[in-house]
Copies of this chain bind each other. A is one copy, B any other.
Amino acid sequence: MEVEDLRQHISRSFNADIESLHNSVLTMGGLVEEQLDRAIEALTQRDSALGLQVAHDDVKINRMEVSIDEDCSRILATRAPAAGDLRLIVAIIKAITDLERIGDEAEKIGRLAARLAGVERPTTNYRELRNLARHVKQMIQGTLDAFARLDANGALAVVKEDEVVDEDYESICRQAITFMMEDPRTISRGMDSMWLARSLERIGDHCKNICEYVIYMVHGKDIRYTSVEAIEAEVARAGEAAEAAS
């Protein structure tokens, strides 16, 4: 075998490793999204069995995280990747922790849905929560798309969405507290709504975290703790530079 052939072979099998890793993360993301869907369905349909099933199925997500983590360590140890590949792997190590914690929040919603199936629903059947859940679900989809296409602009859009989700969350809490003050009989229900909203808000946070890793992967710049405006400017600048170079 010629050296050039060997090099190509190494590079091909390395690319296959990276691609398989990338696909595993997307599969895990799809499962997480499905868990959230089913948890919200269990809540709004008062389906206690489904809620418990969601809680139970969280182990699948946990197992995927451990398995992807092991793949990352193996690739780091055997391939010693550099530059962009290294950034991808570090970003994946971080991203799957956030995906796994989105799964934990879905598990919490599932458990709470199972308990709430036996009690009277609020007259609105959690309208605000359903809206928030829809919004958060869009964030998950945007996050997975941005990750799949290594799209820094898409990731940036999700980062910006998180501010809206935070506002919606605060508005749900304020409303719940107002109701509780007016009618203490609603305290217990108000608290449950707030816990549910809190879980959804935290899912938004995790999406934002993952999108920041995507931007880091693409541009190699750590944008955590930078304002949205500064990130926008940075992404625009990098985009122009790429265009000028092509």
Instruction: Please give the residue numbers on chain A whose beta carbons come within 8 Å of chain B beta carbons, in ascending order.
Output: 59, 62-63, 65-66, 69-70, 72-73, 76-77, 80, 82-83, 86-87, 90, 93-94, 97, 177, 180-181, 184, 187-188, 191, 222, 224-225
Q: How far is the CB of A167 from chain B (nearest CB, A)?
A: 17
**Contact at A69–B184, with CB atoms within 8 Å?**
no
A80 to chain B: closest residue by CB: B80
Residues of the B chain whose Cβ atoms lie less than 8 Å from the Cβ of A80: 80
User: Which residues of chain B are within 8 angstroms of A70 by Cβ–Cβ distance?
Assistant: 222
Nearest CB on B from A169, distance (A): 13
Give every chain B residue within 8 A of A222 (Cβ-Cβ).
66, 69-70
Nearest Cβ in chain B — how far from A34, in angstroms? Answer: 19
Closest residue on chain B to residue A79 by CB atoms: B80
Given contacts A62-B224, A94-B97, 4 further A-B contacts (CB under 8 A): A69-B222, A77-B83, A94-B94, A181-B184
Number of identical protomers = 2
Distance between Cα atoms of A72 and B93 in the complex (Å): 13
Nearest CB in chain B to that of A74: its residue: B86
**B177 near A188: Cβ-Cβ < 8 Å:** yes
A225 to B70, CA, bound (A): 15
A72, A86, A94, A180 interface centre (most CB from chain B within 10 Å): A180
| Chain B residues, Cβ within 8 Å of A224 | 62, 65-66
| Contact indicator A59/B187 (Cβ below 8 Å) | no
Q: CA separation between A225 and B104, bound complex, in Å?
A: 11
Q: Is the CB of B86 within 8 A of A77?
A: yes
CB distance from A217 to the nearest CB of B (A): 12
**Pair A225/B62 contact, Cβ less than 8 Å:** yes
With A187-B180, A222-B66, A225-B62 in contact, do A86 and B97 touch (Cβ < 8 Å)?
A: no
Bound Cα distance from A87 to B69, whole angstroms: 11
Alpha-carbon distance A151/B188, docked complex (angstroms)? 43
- Minimal beta-carbon separation of A62 from chain B (angstroms): 4
What is the distance, in angstroms, from A199's C-beta to the closest C-beta of chain B? 12
